[in-house]
Structure 1
Amino acid sequence: MSQGRKYSDDQLEAYLKRISYPANKPGLSLVQNARQSFELDALATLCDLQRRHLTSIPWGNSALHYSQHHTISIDPDSLFEKLIERRLDGYCMENTGMFQIVLRSLGYFVYATGGRVGSAAGTGVDNGLFTQLSHMALIVIIDGIKYMVDVGFGTNGATAPLPLQDGASSTRIAPSEMRLVKDTLVEFTDKSQKVWIYQVRHNPESEWLSMTCFYDMELLPQDFELMNFATSQRRTSWFTQSFVCTRMILDSAGKEIIGQYILAGKDIKRRLHGQTEQVQVLEKEEDRVKGLAEYFDMNLRANEIQGIRGMTSEIK
């Protein structure tokens, strides 16, 4: 991923079509619509782009299971081919990496930073511990204000830009909420050092849980190449052992994220307005392949389907 890389207008047009970006001004291309919207209200446009990306392009790690190569590339053209042309899923450094290039191409001042994932993301219990650097988040600066933007964290991911202000909070997917706090980590030797911590709570009565933490410092493409290799290839990496996929659900007006589809293990679940229901039990691989097509708009090719044979993630 080269620093400062941009997509062509043709690529941007295909991306905007992929996320169902509205053509508010007939006679103009989607790219022209988006750039005019950016000039009029950059923050509102960013919110719209993030919502539509999250509800159109799934978060997941299918390439590590449903492929012949079991690798992940974060090369910009590879990301475009996979997420836009093939209409597949991607994990943080894929989805957020491509989103960074899209935003830069539309005129935003944006850079990527590195983050850690909190133990609460997997266990639901917040013990203050975080993983090694393995996550990507974006910092977007609009009118002198810095915002954290993330389209690659899956089930508990942010659904709108959050200003880098201690305690800044917002509705995530009602009734759940999200916020940023600035604090030190329990494992830091120097307690004067602080990071931004992204937290969620399922409703106003529940406790805040730390999902990720990140730095307000730009990382370079070569940093993410190393992070991507470790995340996608280490034997101990959770991503290499289990297949997951999520896609958020947009309301009919295109203004609010109201839920999400979640595929994990042998279940596909739908969460709407804080209520979870099971929509399908996956008894065999054929069920999962069909479920990916029906609920996530992912149509796998025969050679990709064969790639999972013999892996621990295969449904037998």
Structure 2
Amino acid sequence: MTTINEMFRNRIGFPPDEPINFDHLDKVLEKTALALPFENVRVMNDSITDISEESLKEKILESNEGGLCYDLNSILYLFLSNNGFNVTLIRGVVYNQTQQKWSDTGRTHAAILLYKKGRRYIVDTGFGSNLPLKPVPLSGETVSSRNGEFRIEKEASNHGNYCLYMKRKHKDEEWKKGYAFDPADTVTNLSDLNEMQRIIVSHPASGFNKQLLITKLTHNGSATLAGNLLTTWADGKMKKEEVDENRVKELAKDVFGLNLL
């Protein structure tokens, strides 16, 4: 039987026999961001399934779909675990930049906490196009990638005692809050994420149950399809285009590799 390790490497285009250590993670995260779209197709199609190792394998590695944070970070968590990393899944609360407040959906962001030699890092491939593309230490240092600058500050709030901040390249002039989390709020079993998925699917404040959303990093920027609006960033320049239903299906296939019904 083909393992998650083999299938994940094949999906993101990582050599099958190349060992992975901490210094390789930026390469893994870059390839993952380019290969796996952040998308809510199954939510909008009302075709979600319970979260498990087998369902994630089928959805992302066999059917070549993407998913939301609890899909993408869960499959990455399984892959990293299979490659000897000390990792766990945690919950976070996303900061709504439009409304300038914490999301009313509560702790519905899943991320990965990685332990290495007494230090802790956040690893995240499920935060839309706001991906650090590198492990971000909980000790406060700033990490930089082609996607911008990211850091984690220790600060107490009702939503956790740490907060991820971001200053996205070409998009942010000042640091912005990403999400708050408590490293102790770990996910014991993948099935625990079903409650998170239920809230995302049904909560009135959820940003993922209103219209189709697909986004993915590209080699020189990002592409986002929200409803019938395509937004692309290329070399620091933004372009917006309204598209009809047929074009939406074409873009989903050509840009994001997804087949819409």
Scaled by the length of structure 2, the TM-score of the pair is 0.89
Q: CA deviation at 1:195?
A: 1.6
Q: Structure 1 counterpart of 2:91, which letter? A: G
Q: CA deviation at 1:152?
A: 0.6
CA contact (8 A) 1:196 1:215 kept: yes
Q: 2:22 aligns with which of 22, 43, 65?
A: 43
CA contact (8 A) 2:165 2:178 kept: yes
Q: CA deviation at 1:179?
A: 1.5
Q: CA deviation at 1:296?
A: 0.5
Looking at structure 2, the residues matched to 148 and 212 of structure 1 have their Cα atoms a distance apart, in angstroms, of 11
Looking at structure 2, the residues matched to 169 and 244 of structure 1 have their Cα atoms a distance apart, in angstroms, of 29
1:201 corresponds in structure 2 to 167
Looking at structure 1, the residues matched to 117 and 221 of structure 2 have their Cα atoms a distance apart, in angstroms, of 31
2:208 corresponds in structure 1 to 239
**1:77-111: CA deviation from partner (whole Å, max 9, x where unpaired):** 11111111111120000000111111101111100
Q: 2:250 aligns with which of 283, 290, 313?
A: 290
Q: Does 1:180 align with 2:148?
A: no
Q: Does 1:273 align with 2:252?
A: no
1:312 corresponds in structure 2 to none
2:34 corresponds in structure 1 to 55
Looking at structure 1, the residues matched to 50 and 246 of structure 2 have their Cα atoms a distance apart, in angstroms, of 27
1:155 corresponds in structure 2 to 129
CA contact (8 A) 2:160 2:180 kept: no
Q: Structure 2 counterpart of 1:297, which letter? A: G
Q: CA deviation at 1:236?
A: 4.4
Q: Structure 2 counterpart of 1:195, which letter? A: N
Looking at structure 2, the residues matched to 179 and 172 of structure 1 have their Cα atoms a distance apart, in angstroms, of 12
Q: Structure 1 counterpart of 2:8, which letter? A: Y
Q: Structure 1 counterpart of 2:207, which letter? A: W
Q: 2:144 aligns with which of 145, 150, 171?
A: 171
Evaluate the alpha carbon distance shift between residue 223 and residue 81 of structure 1 in structure 2; reply closer, same or farther with a 3 A threshold: closer
**Structure-to-structure mapping, 1:1-316, within 5 angstroms:** 10-21=3-14, 23=15, 30=16, 32-33=17-18, 37-38=19-20, 42-65=21-44, 67=45, 69-120=46-97, 123=98, 126-127=100-101, 129-131=102-104, 132-166=106-140, 168-174=141-147, 176-185=148-157, 188=158, 195-202=161-168, 206-217=173-184, 218-221=186-189, 222-250=191-219, 258-278=220-240, 280-283=241-244, 285-300=245-260, 305=261
Task: Give the structure with the larger strand fraction.
Answer: 2
Q: CA deviation at 1:292?
A: 0.5
Q: CA deviation at 1:171?
A: 2.1
**Local SS of the residue matching 1:159:** coil
Task: Give the structure with the larger helix fraction.
Answer: 1
Aligned Cα RMSD in Å?
2.2
**Local SS of the residue matching 1:220:** coil
Looking at structure 1, the residues matched to 160 and 66 of structure 2 have their Cα atoms a distance apart, in angstroms, of 33
Evaluate the alpha carbon distance shift between residue 299 and residue 44 of structure 1 in structure 2; reply closer, same or farther with a 3 A threshold: same
Aligned residues: 257
Larger radius of gyration: 1
Looking at structure 2, the residues matched to 153 and 11 of structure 1 have their Cα atoms a distance apart, in angstroms, of 22
Unpaired runs of at least 5, structure 2: none
1:255 corresponds in structure 2 to none
Looking at structure 2, the residues matched to 11 and 133 of structure 1 have their Cα atoms a distance apart, in angstroms, of 27
Scaled by the length of structure 1, the TM-score of the pair is 0.75
Looking at structure 2, the residues matched to 195 and 172 of structure 1 have their Cα atoms a distance apart, in angstroms, of 25
**Local SS of the residue matching 1:238:** coil
